[in-house]
Structure 1
Amino acid sequence: MLNRRDFLRMGGLCTASLLAGCRVTPERKTAERPNIVFIMTDDHASHAVGCYGSRINKTPQIDRLAREGMRFENCFCTNSICSPSRAVILTGKYSHLNGMIVNIYAGRPFDGSQQTYPKLLQKAGYETAMIGKWHLGSDPTGFDYWEVLPGQGSYYNPDFIQMDGSRKQYEGYCTDIITDLSIDWLKERRDSAKPFLLITQHKAPHRCWSPAPRHLGKYKHGTIPEPDTLFPDHAKRSAASAESEMSVRDHFRWGHDMKFRGENLFPDHFVSQGAHNEYSRMTPAQRQQWDAHYEPENHAFVEQMQAGKLTDDDVVRWKYQRYMHDYLGSVEAVDEGVGRLLDTLEETGLADNTIVVYTSDQGFYLGDQGWYDKRFMYEESLRMPLLIRWPQQVRRGAVSDAMVLNLDFAATFLDAAGAAVPADIQGESFVPILRGRRPANWRKAMYYHYYEYPAVHQVKRHYGIRTERYKLIHFYYDIDAWELYDLRNDPHEWDNLYDDPKYTRLVKRLKAELAELRARYGDSDELARSFLPPSG
C-alpha cells in the first residue's frame, strides 16, 4: 500500500478555437477567468446538511459555503440515480440523449467520446482534473489529470485507477485520501499559469455507509431524531410504492448494511446476503477499532431479540439508529474534507478567484417514507443540496428559491468561465441568479424521468413534472398509474389527488405542460419504449 501518490504525467492541453453555435458572449481573457472547484458527494441528502436545517447532524465546514455564498433551496435532479446524474452533469443533456439511462452495472458505460463541459473548458484554455468517484464505467475523458475509484470504490484502503490503466492501493480512509489527492494537485501538480477546473467527487455517504475509525460512536445509538414518516402510510399512493424494495423494515442486509458478522439469526427482519465488504480490506488496527464499536451493540441487540424484548417497530427503530450512525458518520469526513479544501484555497491565495460548488448527485431517503436509497420522484430523492461560493460575484449568505437542475451545471460552469455554451446543451446557465438577477423567463417547472426497472430496489419506471406547487407522476412499463400531489398542503406526498374530481382541470393542465416539456427535451413514450429493461 502507498501512503501518498507518486507523480503522474499530465496530458497536453487542447487550445482549439471555440465551438460554433454558441449562446454566450466570447470568452474573457484567461487572467480574468475564475477557477472552479466542484465538490460532489454520493447520496448526501440536503436534510443532512446543517444549513438546510438538518435535525440530525451538523456540517460546519459545508455550511461555510452557505455563509460565504449562495444556498439553493430548489435544486433537483432529472434522474435520481448515480451514473445517470453524473452523465447529466457532465453533458448538460437528459439521460435519453447522453445514453446513460441506468447505472453502469447494467453493462452500459458512459460514452466518453461525446461532448462534456470539461472538454469545452479545456478548449477554452482551462486545465482540468478529476479525482475520486467517477462511476461511469469508462475512463474519464476531457481531463489533463485524473485518478478515480473503480466502480463504487471502497471506504477502507481503497484502490484508485491511474491514467496508465494500473491500480494503486492507498492505506487509509477513502474520503481523506480523495481530499489529500485534491489538495496535492492544487499545491503541486497544476499549471499555475492557467485557470483550472478541479472535480473532487467522494464515495461517501453511499451505501454501505462505513465511517472512518475516528467517527465511530459519534452519533450515539438511540439519540438520533426519527423522521415523522419512519412508519409510513402509502395507502393513497399507487402500487408503485408498495412494490419497491428499499424499506428500513424489510430490506436491510444483515451483514452488508447492519454490520453484523456471522449467520442471519433473524431472517424475518434482515435480508441475508454476504458480509460487510469493507471488513476484509481493513488493517488489524482498523478492525480492532471497528469491532470495539460495533460488537458490543450487536451482542446486546441479539440478546434482546432472543429474549423477546423487542417488537417489530422496536427493530425498525434499532435499524434506523444503526443506519443513521453509519450514514452521518460517513458525512463527517466529507465535512472535514471540505474545510481542508477551503483552507487550502485560502493558504494558496486562490480563494478570491475560485468558484467553489458543493452538491450531491441526488437526494436520499433517511428513513423518510420508511425508506433508504433514492430513485423515486418524491422530494427527498429529487432534491439536491447546492451551495456556491463565488467571491465578488455572489452576495454572502444569499438564498435562492429558483428552480435549478443538475442539467444546468454544465452551462453555468461554461458561462462563468466566459466559454462558449453549445446550442445543443439542454440546461440553462444560472450565472445571472448567482449575481442576484433571476431572468423573468426562468423555469417554473421541471421534467424528471427514471428508467432503471426491473432492477435492484424494484422502483417502477416513471416520469413526471414538478411545478412550484404541484407534482404529477406517471408510472409505466408494467403498470399504468398516475399520482398528483399538492406540495404546499401535503409536503410528505401522502394524499394522491389524481382521481379527485376537484382536480380534473389541474390534471389536464399539468399533462399538457408535461407533454410540452417532453417535446422540448426530445423525450416521448416511443423513445422510452425503445430502451430495453436493464439486465441486473
Structure 2
Amino acid sequence: MNTEMTRGYSFILLMLWFALGFSSCSMDEKVVESKPNILFIMTDDHALQAISAYGHPLSQLAPTPNIDRIASSGALFTSNFCGNSICGPSRATVLTGKHSHKNGFMRNTNIGFDGTQQTLPKILGKNGYQTAIIGKWHLVSEPTGFDHWEILHDQGEYNNPDFITKQDTTQKFGYVTDLITDMTKDLLDKRDPEKPFYLMMHHKAPHRNWVPAERHYHLYDDTEFPMPDNYFDDYEGRYAASQQEMNIYRDMFEGHDLKLSTEKGVDSLRYDPWPHVFMGRMTDEEKETFWKAYHKKNESYFELDPADSVAIAKWKFQRYMQDYLAVIKSVDESVGEILDYLDENGLSENTLVVYTSDQGFYLGEHGWFDKRFMYEESMLMPLMIRYPGYIGEGLQVSNLTQNIDFAPTFLDYVGLQIPDDMQGESFRPLLENSTPEDWRQTLYYHYYEFPGFHSVRKHYGVRDERHKLIYFYEEDKWELFDLEKDPTEMNNIYGLHGTEEITDKMTQELRALQDKYEVPEDHR
C-alpha cells in the first residue's frame, strides 16, 4: 500500500473513532500523536571509512554492527556531503537548512550561533513535538528551541565531563559516550508519551584526542590496519594541501593525541597543550589504569630507531587507528543500546532514526587527520536512515544530497510545510523510489576558517557526479579533479590542455550556485 493510500485509510479510521465517541482526546491531539518521532544521532568526526556498512577495508577490521543495523533496516546514503567541513558550521546547517553564510555561523571561532533565528526544533516544537538535545552542541551560545537541553562544555571531555543545563554546570563521572547514552534513555523514560519527540543525541566521540573507554584500551593492540596508498603524499600541484598543518606524523601532538610518555615507563605525557581536558579529568585510579595500559602499548615505539622517520610515521598511523577505532566501538555500543531501547518500548515502528556525523574525516589519506578541505574524505558525510513502513530495507541512495537537506526532509516526513527560506530540499522522494527529474546534479561548498587550527586556506567550489572545481580565493589558486580517473584527488588537472571545456562548465555552475544560494559578493 503506498503512502497516500495509507494516510487516507488512517484518516477515515480516525474520523470513525472520533465519531463513535471512543476517544477522550481531541482530533488535533490524535493527529499529533500519529506523527513520527525523530531520533537524530550525530557523532563528531566519524569518517565514512570507519563504518562497516560502507565496506571500507579499515572498517572490516573494526566493524560497527549496531550502526549497520540502521542501514540494513533502512537506507544507506553513499553521496551525502556537507557544505562546510567543520563541526560548528555543519551543526548550524543541520538546525537551519541553510548554508553557513545564511545562518551566520561560518567558523568554529564565531562569537556564537544566532539562536533567535528559525530552526528545525523551533518549528517542530510549535507543532506539538517535545524537543531535546543531549551531548555535543559546540555552537557557543545556549541552545534555543528545545524543551530540554544538557550539553557538553565546548568540545567536551572523554572522562568525567561537565554538562551544562539551563540551571547550572555539573560534572558527571564516567565515560562520555556511556553518559550521553544513559542520559538519552533516561530522558526517553521521562518523556510525555502522548506527544511525538525530536531528540538529538550528539556524541563527542570520535573527536580528537580519541581516548577509548577503559574496557577498550587493548581492543586493537594486535590489529594492523591498512595504510592509505597516499599516506606519504608530497602534495605536488596542490598549494593549499602543501601548507596545511594536519599531518599525522608531523603535526599530531605526541602526548595529547598519541599518548606517548616522555620516557619509557614514565607517568608523564609528551606535549599536551590541553592537559585539563585529558589527564586532568581523570581520577587517580583512572590515571593508574591508563598508564598501566599505555606503558605496555608504547613499548614498541621506544624500540624504534629514532632516525627511522618512515617507521615512526607508520607507527603513529597505527596508534591513531587503534585509538580512533576503539573510541568508535563505544559509539557502536551506544547505538545498539538505543535501538534495543526503542524495540523494548514499542517505539521502533513510529520512530525515524538517523545516524550521521557532522562531516567526514581523514584516516591517513594524504597523511592527514582532521577535515576542512573540500576533498572527498572530509566533504563526505556518513548518513543512514530507517523508518519502518516508509523506507525500504537495504536501500542505497547514490543521488547527491547535502546537510542543508536534513531539516526539509524531517519536516516533510512529519507533514509540515518547508519554509521558503530553507535552502535544502527534502530527499524523501529519493527514499520512496520517486526521484524528481530535476534533482540536483551539483553541490556547493565553502570553507571560511583561516587563519585557524591546521592552517587550511579558505576555499569554495562545486562538485558534480564526476568533477570537482576548487578555488582557494585568497591565494588565487584553482584545482580541478576528475573523480572517475583520480578518486583520491592526487592530480590537479586545472589549466592542462584538454580541460578547457569542463573547466568552463564547472566555473559557470559554480557561479550559478553562488547566485542560487545568494552568496554575498565579499564571499566570492
TM-score by length of 1: 0.89
Please name the residue that 1:215 is paired with.
216
Structure 1, residues 103-158: CA drift from partner, whole Å, max 9, x if none?
0xx24210111100000001111111110000000111111111000100000011
Identity of aligned residues (%): 49
Compared with structure 1, are the counterparts of its residues 152 and 118 closer, same or farther at alpha carbon in structure 2 (3 Å cutoff)?
A: same
Matched, 1:517 2:513: yes
Decide which structure has greater helix share: 2
Using the alignment, how far apart are the partners of 1:527 and 1:148 within structure 2? Answer: 34
Residue 311 of structure 1, CA deviation = 1.3
Letter in structure 2 aligned against 1:415: D
- Partner of 2:195: helix, strand, or coil? coil
- Partner of 1:506: helix, strand, or coil? helix
- Partner of 1:388: helix, strand, or coil? strand
- Partner of 2:512: helix, strand, or coil? helix
Please name the residue that 1:133 is paired with.
136
Among candidates 366, 373, 376, match of residue 376 of structure 1: 373
* 1:464–1:474 contact (8 Å) kept in structure 2: yes
1:271-310 pair list within 5 angstroms: 273=273, 275=275, 277-305=277-305, 308=306
- Partner of 1:457: helix, strand, or coil? helix
Among candidates 492, 495, 501, match of residue 496 of structure 1: 492
Compared with structure 1, are the counterparts of its residues 476 and 227 closer, same or farther at alpha carbon in structure 2 (3 Å cutoff)?
A: same
Please name the residue that 2:326 is paired with.
329
Compared with structure 1, are the counterparts of its residues 272 and 191 closer, same or farther at alpha carbon in structure 2 (3 Å cutoff)?
A: closer
Structure 1, residues 379-406: CA drift from partner, whole Å, max 9, x if none?
0000000000000000101101011100
- Partner of 1:502: helix, strand, or coil? coil
Please name the residue that 2:76 is paired with.
71
Matched, 1:394 2:391: yes
Q: Which moved more, 1:226-235 or 1:360-369?
A: 226-235
Matched, 1:120 2:123: yes
Among candidates 498, 504, 508, match of residue 508 of structure 1: 504
Compared with structure 1, are the counterparts of its residues 495 and 194 closer, same or farther at alpha carbon in structure 2 (3 Å cutoff)?
A: same
1:5-154 pair list within 5 angstroms: 29-56=31-58, 57-103=62-108, 106-154=109-157
Using the alignment, how far apart are the partners of 1:87 and 1:359 within structure 2? Answer: 15
* 1:255–1:274 contact (8 Å) kept in structure 2: no
Structure 1, residues 359-398: CA drift from partner, whole Å, max 9, x if none?
0000000001110000000000000000000000001011
- Partner of 1:101: helix, strand, or coil? coil
Matched, 1:159 2:162: yes
Letter in structure 2 aligned against 1:295: H
Please name the residue that 1:7 is paired with.
none
Compared with structure 1, are the counterparts of its residues 393 and 27 closer, same or farther at alpha carbon in structure 2 (3 Å cutoff)?
A: farther
Letter in structure 2 aligned against 1:31: E
Residue 28 of structure 1, CA deviation = 9.7
Using the alignment, how far apart are the partners of 1:107 and 1:37 within structure 2? Answer: 28
Please name the residue that 2:310 is paired with.
313
Residue 271 of structure 1, CA deviation = 6.6
Residue 258 of structure 1, CA deviation = 1.1
- Partner of 2:453: helix, strand, or coil? coil
Residue 32 of structure 1, CA deviation = 2.2
Residue 274 of structure 1, CA deviation = 5.6
Using the alignment, how far apart are the partners of 2:191 and 2:425 within structure 1? Answer: 29
Using the alignment, how far apart are the partners of 1:222 and 1:344 within structure 2? Answer: 32
Using the alignment, how far apart are the partners of 2:463 and 2:55 within structure 1? Answer: 23
Aligned residues: CA RMSD:
1.9
- Partner of 1:473: helix, strand, or coil? strand
Residue 229 of structure 1, CA deviation = 1.7
* 1:250–1:271 contact (8 Å) kept in structure 2: no
Residue 260 of structure 1, CA deviation = 2.3
Compared with structure 1, are the counterparts of its residues 44 and 390 closer, same or farther at alpha carbon in structure 2 (3 Å cutoff)?
A: same
Using the alignment, how far apart are the partners of 1:275 and 1:81 within structure 2? Answer: 23
Among candidates 183, 189, 197, match of residue 181 of structure 1: 183
Using the alignment, how far apart are the partners of 2:149 and 2:346 within structure 1? Answer: 24
Using the alignment, how far apart are the partners of 1:28 and 1:247 within structure 2? Answer: 55
Residue 233 of structure 1, CA deviation = 3.5
- Partner of 2:292: helix, strand, or coil? helix
* 1:128–1:197 contact (8 Å) kept in structure 2: yes
Matched, 1:201 2:202: yes
- Partner of 1:160: helix, strand, or coil? strand
* 1:248–1:367 contact (8 Å) kept in structure 2: yes
Using the alignment, how far apart are the partners of 2:428 and 2:464 within structure 1? Answer: 22
Residue 471 of structure 1, CA deviation = 0.3
Residue 298 of structure 1, CA deviation = 2.4
Residue 273 of structure 1, CA deviation = 4.2
Residue 438 of structure 1, CA deviation = 1.1
Residue 505 of structure 1, CA deviation = 1.1
- Partner of 2:78: helix, strand, or coil? strand
Letter in structure 2 aligned against 1:386: L
Letter in structure 2 aligned against 1:81: I
Using the alignment, how far apart are the partners of 2:185 and 2:251 within structure 1? Answer: 39
Using the alignment, how far apart are the partners of 2:100 and 2:164 within structure 1? Answer: 26
Structure 1, residues 1-24: CA drift from partner, whole Å, max 9, x if none?
xxxxxxxxxxxxxxxxxxxxxxxx
Matched, 1:347 2:339: no
* 2:304–2:312 contact (8 Å) kept in structure 1: no
Q: Which moved more, 1:434-443 or 1:169-178?
A: 434-443
- Partner of 1:96: helix, strand, or coil? helix
Q: Which runs of 5+ in 2 are unaligned?
A: 1-27, 265-269
Q: Which runs of 5+ in 1 are unaligned?
A: 1-25, 265-269, 530-536
- Partner of 1:191: helix, strand, or coil? coil
Residue 249 of structure 1, CA deviation = 2.1
- Partner of 1:211: helix, strand, or coil? coil
Using the alignment, how far apart are the partners of 2:366 and 2:425 within structure 1? Answer: 32
* 1:221–1:321 contact (8 Å) kept in structure 2: no
Matched, 1:258 2:262: no
Please name the residue that 1:248 is paired with.
248
Letter in structure 2 aligned against 1:114: Q
Please name the residue that 1:364 is paired with.
361
Please name the residue that 1:433 is paired with.
430
Please name the residue that 2:463 is paired with.
466
Using the alignment, how far apart are the partners of 1:251 and 1:84 within structure 2? Answer: 24
Please name the residue that 1:224 is paired with.
225
Letter in structure 2 aligned against 1:191: D
- Partner of 1:423: helix, strand, or coil? coil
Structure 1, residues 161-195: CA drift from partner, whole Å, max 9, x if none?
0121x1111111000000100011112x2111111
Please name the residue that 1:9 is paired with.
none
